[in-house]
Amino acid sequence: MSCLFAARLAKAADIAMIGTWTEAIDAIRRRGILIEGLRGAGVIRVDSHYIGEPAAPADLVIILVKAWQTGTVAKHLAGYLRSDGIAISLQNGLGNLDLLGERVSPGSTAMGATLLGPGHVQPGGEGLTQMVASDWVVDLFRESGLEARRCNADEAESLLWGKLCVSCGINALTALLRIPNGGLLERPDASALMIKATEECAAIAKLKGIVLPFADPALYVREVAKRTATNRSSMLQDILRGAPTECDAINGAVVREANRFGASAPVNEILRQLVRAAGDKTGVISKHADS
């Protein structure tokens, strides 16, 4: 996702990518971001730096790292952000904003991408990005050809939990079964588990007083799986390349929130355990860490 957004935003702004994945940073420095499209591959040149290296403070920082990398970003964020700059998290899962601090605003994106290699990405279709941000940030996105709108903090929380519901239903199951999103709809047992995991998340959102951006969680997750049928979820991509996943910040986060209310989320807990059993090494530094 970082490569996709950097490539698109480079049409309207000077972009620098900060990351931890050595092979990706080196590839971007050497040849730029490689974007696959309907008419073949294109190359977009941007600056790139290893996290911790000095770089000019930015007017806007967009945080797209995996949830397990958020703590590392938090340590370096102030050095990359102007005193009057804006930082926005477009990450998956819960807990990122708590680690990043009060200078970071929430957002949610429906954009998708498949990582094909270091600095090499294939867009997964267009989607709306909604964020708590100044008008100039929204204008920048639109100038870059990205669909964007400004939202308030309550809307952002609703969107975050709405995306979490879908991620709980789709990501872990597709990673475990090694199938694209639409494959869940072709397997009745998998489809039933997808719905149960989604509904557990929706139930916890209701306990927290959060109004989701859809009325029927089961119907909505099925619609998303159908609309993104050929996409490989980010968790499936992580499992396939031997990288840590965000399962603990997605399914695991729902379990922790449920426990706070004396409730339970058994399907999400089982999915979390199965992803860990399948080889997820969340929290372990990996050479495959995203930029």
Strand-pair partners of 79: none
Asked if residue 11 is part of any domain, the answer here is: yes
Asked if residue 291 is part of any domain, the answer here is: no
Asked if residue 287 is part of any domain, the answer here is: no
Q: For a pLDDT cut of 90, what percent of the chain falls above it? A: 88
Taking only the tens place, the pLDDT of each residue in 125-151 is 789 999 999 999 999 999 999 999 999
* pLDDT on residue 281: 65
pLDDT band with cut points at 50, 70 and 90 for residue 280: confident
d(CA 239, CA 16): 28
Give the active site residue among 66, 75, 163, 208.
Answer: 163
Asked if residue 272 is part of any domain, the answer here is: yes
* pLDDT on residue 136: 97
Count up the domains in the chain and report the number: 2
Are 111 and 166 contained in the same domain? no
Helix, strand, coil percentages in the chain from 3-state DSSP, rounded to 5? 50, 20, 35
Q: In this structure, are residues 77 and 87 in contact, taking their beta carbons and an 8 Å threshold?
A: yes
CA angle, 92 as apex, 182 and 264 as ends, to 5°?
Answer: 85
Taking only the tens place, the pLDDT of each residue in 160-216 is 999 999 999 999 999 999 999 999 999 999 999 999 999 999 999 999 999 999 999
Are 96 and 224 contained in the same domain? no
Examine the fold and report which residue of 123, 151, 179 is the final residue of a domain before the chain moves on: 151
Whether pLDDT at 291 is above 80: no
Are 85 and 195 contained in the same domain? no
* pLDDT on residue 285: 33
**Residues spanned by the domain of 227:** 154-277
To the query of whether residue 75 is one of the catalytic residues in this protein, the response is no
Are 143 and 27 contained in the same domain? yes
Are 66 and 110 contained in the same domain? yes
Asked if residue 290 is part of any domain, the answer here is: no
Whether pLDDT at 32 is above 80: yes
Are 199 and 69 contained in the same domain? no
What's the average model confidence in pLDDT over 39-66?
92
Are 165 and 144 contained in the same domain? no
Three-state DSSP class for residue 282: coil
Whether pLDDT at 286 is above 50: no
Are 212 and 182 contained in the same domain? yes
| pTM of structure | 0.90
Are 146 and 220 contained in the same domain? no
Asked if residue 285 is part of any domain, the answer here is: no
Three-state DSSP class for residue 127: coil
Q: In this structure, are residues 119 and 4 in contact, taking their beta carbons and an 8 Å threshold?
A: no
Taking only the tens place, the pLDDT of each residue in 152-166 is 999 999 999 999 999
CATH number of the domain that residue 237 is part of: 1.10.1040.10
Are 163 and 137 contained in the same domain? no
* pLDDT on residue 100: 96
